[in-house]
Amino acid sequence: MNTLTTPSSSNWLNKVPEVTLSFWVIKIMSTTVGETGADFLAVNAGFGQDISRAVMGALLAVALFMQWRTRRYTPWTYWLTVVLVSVVGTQITDLLTDGLGVSLYVSTSAFAAVLAGIFAVWFWVERSLSIHKIFTCRRELFYWSAILCTFALGTAAGDLATEALGLGFTWGAVSFGALIAITYAAWRKGGNAVLTFWIGYILTRPFGAALGDMLTQAKTYGGLGMGAMWTSALFLIVIVMLVTVAQFGVGSSRITQTTE
């Protein structure tokens, strides 16, 4: 097992983005876009759940392959992968719940256990759970399996809150928002950066879903009645804008290097 010397200052080899405000904005919005996209394929386009699962799984495989092949952080590849992981993570939970009738209590605890397992192995192998220094194939594997698992867990936990507590999207957005604020405060007060990052990553899944529902749902149900299509279009525009800015940022930081 080779010991990894971490490059001290340069992050040009790193394949994942800095965690900034725009990171979280894109991450939250991709949740909504991913979910409406998968729903659109399954219901409106009439492909059904099986075909859209297969299509999204194949697209994710392609995106992961591109992300794996790229030598450094490439915003559009990275975020495309996140959107697709979000879709597939949601589909896994939906398949378990709707298709196989697994109780949400069981799936929530199972995903939490699997996630804990991934972190344990990750830490055992790498002696670090750093989310900033992802530059080996193995670390990347840990990183993306953990992310897939947080999306599945976030979906299950969010659905459980709806089913067990009758938490609608308005109160869902408020409560998950409050939990995120607490996590943020904990991080500011010197809490463990890696731990708070992953907690935030899980919580932003149901938060993003509730936020999306608030915009898409009809006014009769207490939403703003924008409809799924317009909400997704709006979110997609913002995502594209932010990723474009990031892409230019990366581009300008390696003027001397040739981009693909």
Partner 1 sequence: MRHFYSLTRPVAAVSAIAILALAAGCSEPAGTSMAGPPAVATAQTSSATKVKAASKLGDLSAFRNIAADVTSIVDNGDLPAAKARIKDLEVAWDSAEAGLKARAAGDWHVLDKSIDHALGALRANAPNQTDSKKAMADLLTNFDSLQGKS
Chain residues in the site for partner 1 (CB under 8 A): 18, 20-22, 25, 39, 43-44, 46, 162-164, 166-169, 172, 213, 215-228, 230, 234-235, 238, 241-242, 245-246, 248-249, 252-253
Question: Cα 105 from chain centroid?
Answer: 21
What is the spatial distance between Cα 220 and Cα 235, in angstroms, rounded to a whole number? 23
What is the spatial distance between Cα 34 and Cα 39, in angstroms, rounded to a whole number? 9
- Residue showing tokens 């976030």: 154
Beta strands in 65-180 (DSSP E): none
Instruction: Work out how close the CB of 29 gets to partner 1 at its nearest, in angstroms, rounded to a whole number.
Output: 9
- Residues with Cβ within 8 Å of residue 254, at least 6 apart in sequence: 12, 72
Please check whether residue 124 is in contact with residue 151, taking contact to mean a CB–CB distance below 8 angstroms: no
> Which CB, 112 or 238, lies closer to partner 1?
238
> Which CB, 166 or 190, lies closer to partner 1?
166
Instruction: Work out how close the CB of 122 gets to partner 1 at its nearest, in angstroms, rounded to a whole number.
Output: 27
Instruction: Work out how close the CB of 8 gets to partner 1 at its nearest, in angstroms, rounded to a whole number.
Output: 16
Instruction: Work out how close the CB of 218 gets to partner 1 at its nearest, in angstroms, rounded to a whole number.
Output: 4
> Which CB, 153 or 211, lies closer to partner 1?
211
> Which CB, 152 or 161, lies closer to partner 1?
161
